[in-house]
Structure formats: C-alpha cells, structure tokens
Amino acid sequence: MKTLRGKGEVVLYLDYDGVLHHEDVWWHWRRGAYINTPGYALFEHTDLLEDALSPFPAVRIVLSTSWVRVLRYSRAVKRLSPALRERVIGATFHTMMNRSDFEALPRGMQVLNDVARRKPRRWVALDDDAEGWMPEYRDHLIHCDSVLGLSAPGVLDALKTRLLHFQHASNDPQ
C-alpha cells in the first residue's frame, strides 16, 4: 500500500453529518443529499470550521464521513468550501478496502485504523458518533451533538483548545 499523506502532520478527522450540519441526512437518487428536518441546511456550519482552523494553517483534514462511501472521495471533497477543500489529504475509507468489512467497524475503529496507517504527529476527530473509541484514545474525540454539530456550546472552544495545545506541544509556529 502506498504511503498516505499526513505522516508527521497535525490531522483533523472530519465527519459531515452531525458535525457540519444536522445528522438527519437522506439520499435520493434524483435529488441527492438533503436534510429531512425543517430549519436546517447541508453544510451550514462550514464557516464555523473555517474560522476555527484559520489560525492553524498546518492542520490537514482526513474525511471520516460516510459521504466518501456514498459519493466517492472526489465528490465528497467537492461538497466542502474551497478553504476546507485545500486542507483535505485523504479519507479513512478508500476503494481498495473491503467495503463491508469497513462498514462493520464502529467509527472510532475506522479512525484509529487510519491513524495507525497514516501516522500523524498529532490528531483530533470531530464526530457525533462516539462508538468504538478505546478509552486511551477517547481524548482525541471532540464529540458533537447530532443536531447542533459544531454550533453546540463548547465544541469550537474544545477544538481550538486542542489545536493550541498541539501548537504549543510541538513548539511549531503553525
């Protein structure tokens, strides 16, 4: 298997549903993705993530969202804003993997398997799915409310605090 991008870097594992927007996303063959709950929009919290990451230009993004399996990697990336898109270096799932084996794993294990392959220097995950996180890695997860996502109280502060800690721990100007 080829070397994955992100080795020795700071990586943010990013879920879409329940993080960048409400988790109630549905798929229709003609309509595409849509949120079934009134008052919410797809990717409504993208600007919040852009703002939170702007002081940390070295942070790279790995997609840990089911959108990669449904739409494929390139189409899932295109749904992000240009500012976030340029940070994306990969996904936890790729087409060379056994899809059913991957889907059988809880999200925490999907991310931890990618961490083992990618070997980032530091990493954090934004996700509304707390299943499958081994206790010793639980502090890498910033758990989001499935409805409010990034807009939930404390989530953005937790992300910024974690990224500042990474910055100070490495004495890295970025």
Q: How far apart are CA 137 and CA 106, in angstroms?
A: 14
- In the Cβ-directed half-sphere of 121, how many Cα atoms lie within 13 Å? 14
The pLDDT assigned to 4 comes to 84
The pLDDT assigned to 1 comes to 54
Please, what is the end-to-end C-alpha distance for the chain in angstroms?
Answer: 30
pLDDT digits (tens, 9 = 90+) for 70-80: 999 999 999 99
The pLDDT assigned to 96 comes to 87
Q: How far apart are CA 71 and CA 65, in angstroms?
A: 11
Concatenated DSSP letters of 131-150:
TT--GGGGGGEEEPBTTTBT
The pLDDT assigned to 39 comes to 96
pLDDT digits (tens, 9 = 90+) for 7-62: 999 999 999 999 999 999 999 989 999 999 999 999 999 999 999 999 999 999 99
The pLDDT assigned to 171 comes to 60
**Domain ranges, ordered by start, for the chain:** 10-170
Q: Does 151 score more than 70 pLDDT?
A: yes
pLDDT digits (tens, 9 = 90+) for 110-144: 999 999 999 999 999 999 999 889 999 999 999 99
Q: What is the pTM of this model?
A: 0.94
Q: Does 174 score more than 50 pLDDT?
A: no
Select 10-170's CATH number: 3.40.1130, 3.30.390, 3.40.50, 1.10.287.
Answer: 3.40.50
